[in-house]
Structure formats: structure tokens, C-alpha cells
Amino acid sequence: MVAEATAVLATAGMPFELLHPGKDDAPYWQWLQRTFPWTTWGRIDWPLVPGSLCRAWNSLSDLCAAFETLCALATLHNPRVFVGWSNAAAPGLLLDLVAARLAAAELFTVSWDTWLLCPSEGWTIEVFHEGEICFGHIETKNTRPLP
């Protein structure tokens, strides 16, 4: 759960901020919903995102390895990211990507689906519970900044 992820982060001395669900995290969810195309069943419609990258996974270790691969292929550095889950009651997290990479296993097990968003750079990573992790980037000039 979120407590396990934040414990890993705190032990490693990685700063993070908890965001109240439905309040502090709302601008991030709004950005995600208006920036990327969505399927009717509630995931990003990756075939409609030009240049998106997807990888299959079968276990938590596969998922973490696929996450690292996507970060490398997309040449992601260390921006501040928002992490949120399909469980709307879970608080969101703001943290550096390096911290999210460190606690990936704990972050990916909080709920069925996980999203990492970087509005400032116009990208997201979605972990879908049926065994797929995808990265997509939208040109930031086409997105509205967060309030």
C-alpha cells in the first residue's frame, strides 16, 4: 500500500509529498484526462498516442525491469512526477523520478493500475493490471500547464 512505498522512500532519505485524494491530486488527474486519449474501459488508448512505447510483464520483477527499460528508451532524467492509482481513496505522491524508480515495486502494488505523470515534460507511464506498461509523450506546447 502507500504506507509501504512511503516507508521505502523515507528509509532511503528520498523526499516525497502526499496529496489528498480528490483535492490536492485533482489537477494531475485533470491534466492526464485532457491530455491523453482514453478507452471506454478507463485506460489510455495507446494506439492513438504517436510514438508510445509498451512492454508486457508477467511478474513484479518483469514489471520493474520493463519500467527501467521504458525510462531508458525515453531518456527520462529526474523530473518531479505525480504517482496515482486506480484506487481513488489512495493519496497521490509527488516525488522525483529517481525516488519512484527506487520504490517501483512498492508503488506498483498499491492498486490495480498505476500512473506516473510529468505534466512539465508532457509524458505519462501507465501500468495496466493485465500485464502491460506503456509510456507516452505529448508535445508540451499542446498541453495546458497545471494551475
The share of the chain scoring above pLDDT 70, in percent, equals: 95
Q: Which residue has the cell 507516452?
A: 136
Helix, strand, or coil (residue 119) = coil
- How does pLDDT run across 53-77, given as a tens digit for each residue? 999 999 999 999 999 999 999 999 9
Mean per-residue pLDDT for 112-124? 97
The pLDDT of residue 146 is: 60
- How does pLDDT run across 16-50, given as a tens digit for each residue? 999 999 999 999 999 999 999 999 999 999 999 99
Confidence band for 144, pLDDT divided at 50, 70 and 90: low
**CA max distance for the chain:** 40
Domain spans in the chain, listed from the N-terminal domain onward: 2-121+130-142
Residue 127 bridge partners (DSSP) = 114, 133
The pLDDT of residue 145 is: 54
Q: What is the mean pLDDT of the chain?
A: 94
Amino acid at 101: R
Mean per-residue pLDDT for 123-144? 86
Cα four-point dihedral sign 135, 138, 143, 145: positive
Closest CA to 90 of 100, 99, 98, 82: 82
